[in-house]
Amino acid sequence: MRILLLENTYSLALSISNFLTTLGHDVNHFDGKVDFLDMVRSGPYDLFLLDLNASHEISVDCIKGIVKIFPQSPIILLSGNHDLTVIEKALELGCSDYIRRPFEFKELELKIRQFNTNIFPIKSSLIHLSQHYTYDTDSSLLYYKGEKQSFTKKEKALLALFMLNRDKFITEEQISLALWNTPYGDSTTVRSNIYRLRKKLKEDFIQTYRQEGYIWESGNQHDP
């Protein structure tokens, strides 16, 4: 699981990062050198650990930003604040749970585990297509650097077909069936839809192979 940690006490942040790393997680610690929401957008992240001991205004802005950019990713508060009204406000803004200081690392591990009903780490609906692209299978939305991308109904259907068949060839007949409910669509129309989807992507995912069809190749992307 990829985790972003916002913890103002450096020694505690280092200890938390080391502990979660031993559990197999990829932990990034926000050190204040860049804007926090810019770091969030550099994700995707599967879970956020947020220090509520930071100023209340900063915490509120961080929570709102995370919920907007990654609405599916849980947020766990690390709170030394015993004012339940503050914690309640954070939960209303979109936080998933909280843990009060001081806490045992085992308690933190269990808090993270509760968001998964099958295995640990948490199974995410996010598909990490490249450094910048993420696809959410629950909402059928594509994100670029954390920003939702806009597509027509046909483009979304075509994108969903590619996501179900990543690194596999799909034929014009399969595309026609997915878009128009018939395997006998016009080849020119199929190619036009492929072209329009390619134009909206900033990386070279979709490749064409004569006699084979089209394929979404995750290894062909490059940074724009």
Domains of the chain: 2-113 (3.40.50.2300), 126-220 (1.10.10.10)
pLDDT score at 82: 60
Q: Of all residues in the chain, what percent are helix, strand and coil, respectively (each to 5)?
A: 40, 20, 40
Q: How far apart are CA 135 and CA 124, in angstroms?
A: 11
CA distance 40 to 61: 12
Q: What is the pLDDT of residue 201?
A: 96
Sequence-separated (6 or more) residues with CB below 8 Å from residue 121: 1, 23, 24, 25, 46, 112
CA distance 161 to 135: 12
Do strands 206-209 and 147-148 pair parallel, antiparallel, or not at all (unpaired)?
Answer: unpaired
CA distance 77 to 74: 10
Q: Are 216 and 204 in contact (CB under 8 A)?
A: no
Provide the pLDDT for residue 46. Answer: 87
Residue 186 neighbours by CB distance under 10 Å = 11
- The average pLDDT across 30-59 equals 76
At residue 116 the predicted structure's pLDDT band, cuts being 50, 70 and 90, is low
Which pLDDT score is estimated for 56?
A: 46
Mean pLDDT over 43-62 rounds to 74
pLDDT in tens, 75-112: 998 877 666 787 888 888 888 888 888 888 888 888 88
* Percent of all residues in the chain with a pLDDT value above 90, rounded to a whole number: 23
Please, are residues 1 and 47 in contact by the beta-carbon 8 Å criterion? yes
% of the chain with per-residue pLDDT over 70: 88
- Pairing between strand 213-216 and 206-209? antiparallel
64 pLDDT higher than 80? yes
DSSP 8-state secondary structure symbol assigned to residue 28: E
If one compares 183 and 25, the residue with the highest pLDDT of the two is 25
CA angle 150, 209, 220 (to 5 degrees): 55
Please report the pLDDT score of residue 144 as a whole number: 92
| Sign of the four-CA dihedral 11, 14, 17, 22 | negative
Measured from the Cβ of residue 25, the count of other Cβ atoms closer than 10 Å reads: 18
Per-residue tokens: 121: 């780490």
- Site of tokens 């197999």: 24
178: nearest Cα among 155, 151, 152: 155
